[in-house]
Every structure is written in structure tokens, then in C-alpha cells.
Structure 1
């Protein structure tokens, strides 16, 4: 690892593209504090900041692998921009999913108690159906990807904890999650399931 500490960010990016995952670990150690500080300063919630930080690095890995980083010498600013866009996307999705301008005739204050129970029951059934579909998709994954999805979503483990548990780098656990989501989206289309996988 001492070799990597003396390399420039650009050299580390190239080493990672050449197949050396330890190069990305060095990039992560150099940049994670600044990126996390930026995210938590914006969202002001540590748990949410951790989620968005992990999502940011999934995007960074994907963009680097797809040669979308081309700004030599400006890696940290580029990563901050990815983090910024991730935060913006989160709040945009939040607004889309939860902010609804309901007509007055749909005012929930007029809903009877038994109707609320029916709605809650319908939500519960929908959640159960979603869980079954998620498990179906997970079971179709290769074992290494399935492990990461299970630990992340069913055991609520961070990517750092997953990496320690599996004896791999954080980069590897992030990469497995990325490919798991790609595969699950593909399987979801093949099985004609209506699941939104982010």
C-alpha cells in the first residue's frame, strides 16, 4: 500500500482501471472524509448521510469504470459534484414520492376508522408482496452478490461492516452491490415484477 500513498489521484484512477482494487481503496481513504463532511453538512442527518455517501461511491465506481471521469487533477471536486447530484436526486425523489397536492374531496379527515384499517391492511399486503418479490430476485443472484444484498438490506450493515465480515475491501462490497442491483433490475424485467430498485 505504501506505493499507492505516493501516487497522484490520476495515477490511482488509472491503476484502478487497470484492475488494481487497492488503488481505489487509497482513493477512498483520501477522499471519504471530505465527501462525507459535505453530505452531512447538507442533509444534517448522520444515518441519511451514510446512505447517501455509500450511494455516492457506487456512482463514482460506475462512472470511473465507464471512463466518465476525464477531469485530470480535479478528482476530489468531481467526486463532490457526484455527491451533490446524489443529494439532489434524493430530495427530488422524496418530493416526487411524498409531496402530493390532494383535492379537497380527498381530505383524509373525513375517512372513517374502518377505512383507515383497510388502507393499512392493503399497505401491509403490498409490503409482504414486495418482500417476496425481493427474495425471489435475491435467490437468482450469484452467491457473493446475494450475501451483500442480504447483509445490507436485511441486517442493515454498512458497507464497511460487510467488507470486514466478508474479508474483502469496501470497494469490492460496493461493486458487488452495484452488480447485484443491475442483475436484480434485469431479473425484475424478465419476471415482469413491478419493483423499483435503487
Structure 2
């Protein structure tokens, strides 16, 4: 199959020949991987974007949406490029800050347990404050946070449901918590939970 043209391999794969896709992957994996890594300079992110690129290729070809133009390499490179641009745009929009000095862990704190009526009322108010802050998060961060804490999904389930890698889901969760901490600091909100 190594001697077949890209176009022939694409046609063969579209007709169900998985070996044809393997040949395409072997032909372009080094080029695409290097292109992504050169752009992002992060090995884990490169792996995520590389996988996403080839998932898009698979989906497009399998759905019959690939238009033959004799420029398969340019097409797959453009998919990778667009994913890189999307990543940087999303990263810029998330505008995350690092504030590891904050002592309150909103979601892993045993002090959320209810004891007295007064404590229950205080805790209810805290949850209301947290809910309000969640509404101001970027949509992708809010989605992951809600799935994790309100639907109690694992990060593997979240990744599957949102069609992203587990690392991306974890990253969005981390960014959500950092952004909520930033909101708390900017608005001088103190979550005084009863212990």
C-alpha cells in the first residue's frame, strides 16, 4: 500500500479498508506531529491535538464529506492548524490565573457537612454563591464542572460526553476552579463554611 497515492488510500478507507488508513497515518504522522509540536511546544498537548486531528480526518472521510482535491497533505495540515488556533484562542479567552495560595478548596472540603440548622443555612448560602459564580465561567469550563459535581461523572465519562481528551477535561476543571478563585478574590467573597 505504500506505493498508492493519497487519493487512492482515502477512497479505499472510505470503502472500509482500515489498512489504507494505517498507511495514511504512517505516511503523515511524523509530519503532522512535528508541525503541532513546533507550534505548541508541549508534548502532552501535541499528543491531544494529534489525536484530535486524526479523529477529524476519520470522521470526515467516514461520513463521506472529504472532497478530493489532490491535496490530502495540505488538508490534514489545515485541520491540525485550525485545532492549534482553537486551542490558543480558548486559552486566551479563559484568561486563567494561578492562585494556589487560596486556602479554600471549594469542592474537597469536609466542612460542607451539615450539623445544625444555622450551619445548614450558612452552607446553603455558600452553595448559592458558588452557583452564581459558576454562571460566569466560560461555557466549556462550566459544562465540565457541572458534570463533575452535579452529575458526579468521572473525567473519563466527561471526556467521552464532550468529545475531548481526559487531559483537556481535567484542564478545563482546573481552569474553572482557578477562575472561581479569581472571582472570589476580585469580589472579596469569603466562603465561611461551618465546620
Query: What interval of TM-score do these two structures reach, taking the shorter chain for normalisation?
Result: 0.5 to 0.7
Which stretch has the larger CA shift, 125-134 or 65-74?
A: 125-134
1:73 counterpart = 2:64: no
Measured against aligned partners, the alpha-carbon deviations of 1:35-60 in whole angstroms (never above 9, x if no partner) come to: 11111111112221111111111111
Residue in structure 2 matched with residue 12 of structure 1 by the alignment: 9
121, 124, 134: which one aligns with 2:106: 121
Q: Distance in 1 between matches of 2:20 and 2:39?
A: 29
Secondary structure at the aligned position of 1:70 is classed as coil
122, 126, 133: which one aligns with 2:153: 133
State the Cα RMSD in Å. Answer: 3.5
Q: TM-score, normalised by structure 1?
A: 0.53
Q: Distance in 2 between matches of 1:12 and 1:90?
A: 30
Structure 1 residues not aligned, in runs of 5+: 101-107, 139-144, 155-198
Name the CA shift for 1:130/1:13 in 2 (closer, same or farther; >3 Å).
farther
Q: TM-score, normalised by structure 2?
A: 0.54
Name the CA shift for 1:27/1:97 in 2 (closer, same or farther; >3 Å).
same
Confirm or deny: 8 A CA contact 2:156 2:166 kept in the other structure. no
Confirm or deny: 8 A CA contact 2:7 2:68 kept in the other structure. no
Residue in structure 2 matched with residue 184 of structure 1 by the alignment: none
Secondary structure at the aligned position of 1:133 is classed as coil
Name the CA shift for 1:71/1:136 in 2 (closer, same or farther; >3 Å).
closer
Name the CA shift for 1:131/1:48 in 2 (closer, same or farther; >3 Å).
farther
The 4+ residue runs of structure 1 with deviation greater than 6 A are none
Matching of residues 27-176 of structure 1 within 5 Å: 27-99=24-96, 116-118=102-104, 120-122=105-107, 129=149, 132-134=152-154, 137=157, 153=166
Secondary structure at the aligned position of 1:132 is classed as coil
Q: Distance in 2 between matches of 1:51 and 1:31?
A: 16
Larger-Rg structure: 2
More helix by share: 1
Structure 2 residues not aligned, in runs of 5+: 113-144, 168-195
